[in-house]
Amino acid sequence: MIYDHLLIRYGELTTKGANRAEMEQLLERNVRRALSGWPEVRVTRSQQRIVVQLNGAPVDATLQKLQQVFGISSISPVAVAPLNLEAIQQKAVEVAKRELMDKSTFKVEARRGYKDFPLDSPALQKAVGAAILRALPHIRVDVHRPEVVIEVDIRKSAAYVYPSRVPGLGGFPVGMSGKGLVLLSGGIDSPVAAWKAMKRGLALELVHFHSFPFTSERAQQKVEDLAAVLTTWAGPMKLHLVSVTAIQSEIQRAAPEGLRTILLRRMMVRAASRIADEVGAGALVTGDSLGQVASQTLPALNAVDRATEHTILRPLIAEDKLEIIELAKRMGTYDISILPFDDCCSLFAPKHPKTHPKLRDIERAEARMDVESLIAEAVASREEKWVLADEALGASASYR
């Protein structure tokens, strides 16, 4: 196997100054977690790179796993050579013979991260290119539009030779930005919001509000499946299942129909804030997109914000619905989200919700309810479970 290592690069982390070492350690830990299924793999960190020594682990499968790790800008399967010119040339020829079988042009790009290496980058490029031309006389150099670019990266411990860079997810390592609590419905938007929050470095716990027995067990399973898909990028997650049946009954009794959705959302945020305090989450995360539905107008969002002291992060706030759907499809959550099992919001949605609710009307309706007792009862009803990636049921197949 010519490519026996993977070279991992990270982008935004390199701009983070004094905190960079801690962030690199976090990324290294996340890489180790992603590759834990291959105990033979060895992961090391040096000179703003993470190097994965495969030791026989499959290149394609490990590469695919690393493409699901936030904080990585690109990955290259690499051939490793000791730090002498002859060995580097030999390894570059091996790479060229593999990659140029049906190609006719190439160029060499060299980087000398280890400055004690005797040749500078231009001289190394020339020497490696000459060796390849001697071994493969039917090909030629094209510095402007080469079919293959063979890169040589000189590091303190070794030289890495490779022909490609596979894009990573970018962003920050999960956990770098603290912890958030996602209000996870069974819809399209909230899983995508969770994914975007993870990309900015948030570790997540999830909370789902249900109205059992009015919502079915299949609706809950749908949410657990969505949560299982999300664990692909961050490992096991804790899911909190909270009943709002009593809250909805009281809202129906005490409030005008047009305010029921916004009142329920304020109750959910209050309950989520209690849970966030317990689990050490610094923010709530929702799938709101400005103006998408009646409860996501500016007055409605402002009314929800007033119900909590926690920051509410809305990663999708300026996203178009078609953009959200496209990302949901790429993530693998879309086919699960569109399954026809109502959540508590859609089941009790009013026919004519207020799009510009006034805070005084909302507070007047809440004054007719024992808000504190309702929130305490909802939080006390909570069930907790850990969701693992291998628990994902796989789109809609399990429901047929």
d(CA 170, CA 66): 11
Structure-block tokens of residue 237:
């997650």
CB contact set of 66 (below 8 Å; sequence gap of 6+): 6, 8, 31, 34, 35, 52, 72, 75, 168
34 Rama class: left (phi>0) / alpha (psi -120 to 50) / beta: alpha
Structure tokens that stand for 35 in this block: 């590759």
Flag whether 265 is marked binding.
Answer: yes
CB burial class (10 A; 0-12, 13-18, 19+) of residue 325?
A: middle
DSSP track, 183-229? E--SSSHHHHHHHHHHHBT-EEEEEEEE-TTTS-HHHHHHHHHHHHH
- Cα separation, 374 vs 380, whole angstroms: 10
Residue 183 annotated as lining a ligand binding site: yes
Q: Are strands 140-141 and 105-112 parallel, antiparallel or unpaired?
A: parallel
Counting beta carbons within 10 angstroms of the beta carbon of residue 20, is it exposed (0 to 12), middle (13 to 18) or buried (19 or more)?
middle
171's torsion region: left (phi>0), alpha (psi -120 to 50) or beta?
Answer: left
Burial class (CB in 10 A: 0-12, 13-18, 19+), 30: buried
Residue 184 counted as an annotated binding residue: yes
Tokens 């490519």 found at: 3
Phi, psi of 22 (to 5 degrees): -65, -40
Determine whether the annotation assigns residue 209 to a binding site: yes
Contacting residues for 136 by C-beta, under 8 A, at least 6 apart: 93, 96, 97, 100
Which residues does the annotation place in the binding site for ATP? 183-184, 208-209, 265, 287, 296
Which residues does the annotation place in the binding site? 183-184, 208-209, 265, 287, 296
